[in-house]
Amino acid sequence: MINQTLDCYAKALIETGCTKEQVSSAAEIFDTYPALSDVLHNPIISIKEKEAVIDKLFSGNVANFIKIVCRNGENIDILEVFCAFFDLILIKEDTVQVIVEYVTPLTPKQEKGFQKFACNVSGKKNALLITEYHPELIGGFIVRIGDFLYDQSFATKFNNMRQNLIRR
């Protein structure tokens, strides 16, 4: 039921004409003020007070959307709605998300290579590349495309070698 509710709210957010940039900015505000969700869900705080807070932090369609969620009295995590929004946008744009964990920064050629690899694995037309620095990998990289995991990190290779030596 919650996924269906999230999906409905995410579709409504798209229909309001909110852009990815506006939703990203709003998500950053929620990340910056973790107590904001508690304030918006608190039944003791009046709708008028909640709307005043929303007006100070947000603008345009995003502000109106958050006000509607508050008025509906839904105890739903706005950040989860934002995630569902981005998932729907990815589907709409025939895009797959690829996460590359690295130690050494990627070159533009490597980034394009990972995007092409993700498109080939997923069958999608486009790939959204997200890079994450993980020094504990020692070297190499890990690629995540949905449920697909391609681990070429030195840390994993060293661990596998250690396990093989222990078994002997």
The per-residue pLDDT for range 46-105, each reduced to its tens digit, is 999 999 999 999 999 999 999 999 998 877 889 999 999 999 999 999 999 999 999 999
Q: Where are the beta strands (DSSP E) in 56-120?
A: 95-102
What pLDDT, on a 0 to 100 scale, did the predictor assign at position 138? 94
* Interatomic CA distance for residues 74 and 56, integer angstroms: 21
DSSP code at position 18: -
* Interatomic CA distance for residues 6 and 13, integer angstroms: 10
* Interatomic CA distance for residues 107 and 90, integer angstroms: 24
What pLDDT, on a 0 to 100 scale, did the predictor assign at position 139? 95
User: With 0-12 CB in 10 A as exposed, 13-18 as middle and 19+ as buried, what is 63?
Assistant: middle
* Interatomic CA distance for residues 142 and 90, integer angstroms: 22
Check: pTM over 0.85? Answer yes or no.
no
